[in-house]
Structure 1
Amino acid sequence: MAIELKLSRSNRVYCLGESVDGKIITILASPVSYQKIIISLTGTVNLQVKGGVTGVIESLYGVVKPICIVKKSMELATSAGKLGPGRTEINFSFSLSSEEKSGYDMFYETFHGGNISIQYLISADVTRGYLHKALSATLELIVEHDKASLIQVPISPELTSFFITQDTQKHQLLPELSSGRFQVTGNISTHCSLSEPLSGELIVEASAVPIRSIDILLLRVESILTGERIISDTSVVQITQARIVPLIHNYHH
């Protein structure tokens, strides 16, 4: 016996207010009796531990319980029946909205971070009574905000300046750097679209030792509210190694 969930969109990406259409597909060697056929949508916010060194947020794992933000279900078959042998397709359709006042009606965009995840799962359950195991299948649904409905706020062209010297570093430095001169300046745009390159300028003005490479790190900061405290943790999303150009180096990331 096999059961599968298939959505009309192969990328499984939907916006709030759109219709989610799909099929429950069963492949059976012989007829199977059922009591109910139910399609469900559940959205949760979770802490997740991926092994390795335990961070600040990971230390709360087991203390902070998963938060349910969406919970919907629909019965496709309300009375007992029978699924025939071979392949059977059962269509379903529901609106991705928060019209039901069930106490769970908050939609946020799907997010899979290093410590926190917001996930939406569609489940199909063919219940068969107490003596028989239910046929079940689960598929993740990706929720995104409708970009067309968002207020288009012009991105500020202003750049944020930064400087790095031996005195701004908290970690231990080579004696040559501690006693010698080291200075890096530059600027970067901190307001940008995720679909556009992150750009800026970096200038190595002085260095007591030769520089072999420059790594640019993109970090993700995740925060949770526990009691009256906000706890944050940082993880690396991407590392780009910049090519060294004499005097001035312009980079696009």
Structure 2
Amino acid sequence: MATTLDIRLKKANKIYHEGELVQGVLLINCKSDFQHQGITLTMEGSVNLQLSAKSVGLFEAFYNSIKPIQILHYSVEVSKPGRLPAGRTEMPFELPLKPKGNKTLFETYHGVFVNIQYTVKVEMKRSVLSKDLSKSSEFIVEYKQKSEQSVVKPVPFTITPESLQNIRERSGLPKFVVRGKMDSVNCCISKPLTGEIIVEQCAAPIKSIELQLVRVETCGCAEGYAKDATEIQNIQIAEGDVCRGFTIPIFMIFPRLFTCPTLATSNFKVEFEVNIVIVLQDDHLITENFPIKLFRF
């Protein structure tokens, strides 16, 4: 068996809050005792920005603003150069979860053009003839839950051919009236988005009604910004030519890691929208857009 290196965090769910200690153990398994040139543990947090293909080349300033933003960095020497015995060796560690200088810790978020990631990495230096060993483990940072609630902001809506935006030719649209409400567009990220939708009338048969969650990521600087919207998930809430006048519930859970509390900084923004999409039998789409704000409380 070759020498193996592993990181085990104390918390099984790997969720930590600012000010807590990230605790765990380093596990080293080896068949026979061996010499090493030092073991180092590094904890890092960074925001990685990326430009979409359509934005590259628009602004020279982008190339400076999209460098990774380091918001957390600790490095400690776990063991000086020496010899480890055969078998299993455990080395406990703990590191404080505090931002670097005047930086701010953001929640872990895996997007398309914005990525906020936190990792613990261990490196073992070995002799010239042996390959160095390393292992990294991601952990999740969440904001502490606040005692106060955000303001509930219900949004009633009515969708008709006249209410649709960006439609050049309305004469080809069937007559329809769709009503409903979003219970709130200020949403707790750990609770579902809820509401209801009622198709009061629609001259054309309906194929499907879907709920689409969209991330809107903005990267850039004072010279210019690139803004891109991409789909996170699409949930079908009704299938077929639904009964007219029937109340259809809206219910959607925000996926972990792919969403985070709404963010706005000088270099990037992460915002969210919800689309109600009514698909007609001829595959024409009727869409209503709702910008939403996510909080953790």
Shorter-chain TM-score range:
0.7 to 0.9
Deviation per CA, 1:170-210: give whole Å up to 9, x if none.
36879742xx4233233212122223232223232332312
Unpaired runs of at least 5, structure 1: none
Q: Which has the higher helix share?
A: 1
| Counterparts of 1:54 and 1:245, CA distance in 2 | 43
1:17 aligned residue? 19
C-alpha spacing 1:4/1:124, structure 2 compared with 1 (3 Å)? same
> Residue 80 of structure 1: CA displacement?
2.2
The residue identity in structure 2 corresponding to 1:165 is T
2:109 is aligned with 1:111? yes
Q: How many residues align?
A: 240
Q: 1:234 aligns with which of 209, 229, 242?
A: 229
1:145 Cα shift? 1.3
- Counterpart of 1:190 in structure 2 is 185
Query: How many Å separate the matches in 1 of 2:199 and 2:169?
Result: 17
CA distance in 1: counterparts of 2:169 and 2:223, whole angstroms: 37
Shift of 1:67: 1.7
Matched, 1:96 2:97: yes
Equivalent residue for 1:40? 42
Is the 1:13–1:143 contact (alpha carbons within 8 Å) kept by the matching residues of 2?
A: yes
Query: Alpha-carbon deviation of 1:123?
Result: 0.6
Offset of 1:132 from its aligned partner?
3.8
- Measure the CA separation in 2 of the matches of 1:111 and 1:143: 9
- Contact kept? 1:176, 1:209, Cα under 8 Å: no
User: Larger deviation: 132-141 or 229-238?
Assistant: 229-238
| Superposition map of 1:45-84 within 5 A | 45-47=47-49, 54=53, 63=63, 64-77=66-79, 79-84=80-85
Q: In structure 2, the residue corresponding to 1:192 is in which secondary structure?
A: strand
Closer, same or farther in 2 for the Cα pair 1:55/1:190, shift >3 Å? farther
**In 1, are the aligned partners of 2:157 and 2:180 still within 8 Å (CA)?**
yes
1:187–1:55 distance in 2 versus 1, CA, 3 Å: farther
Does 2:244 correspond to 1:246?
yes
Whether the 8 Å contact between 1:45 and 1:66 is mirrored in structure 2 is: yes
Q: Secondary structure at the match of 2:178?
A: strand
- Indicate if the aligned counterparts of 2:196 and 2:247 stay in contact, CA closer than 8 A: yes
| 1:93 Cα deviation after fit | 1.3
Compute the displacement of 1:110 (Å): 0.7
Amino acid across the alignment from 1:224? C
Aligned-residue identity in percent:
32
Partner of 1:239, secondary structure, is strand
Q: Secondary structure at the match of 1:212?
A: strand
Report what 1:155 is aligned to: 151
SS at match of 1:65: coil
Task: Determine the structure 2 residue equivalent to 1:200.
Answer: 195
Distance 1:252 1:163, change over 3 A: closer
Root-mean-square deviation over aligned CA pairs: 2.9
Equivalent-residue separation in structure 1 for 2:215 and 2:94 (angstroms): 36
- The whole-number CA distance in structure 2 between the counterparts of 1:242 and 1:70 is 41
**What does residue 123 of structure 1 align with?**
121
- Output the amino acid matched with 2:120: I
Q: Distance in 1 between matches of 2:236 and 2:167?
A: 21
- Displacement, 1:95? 1.7
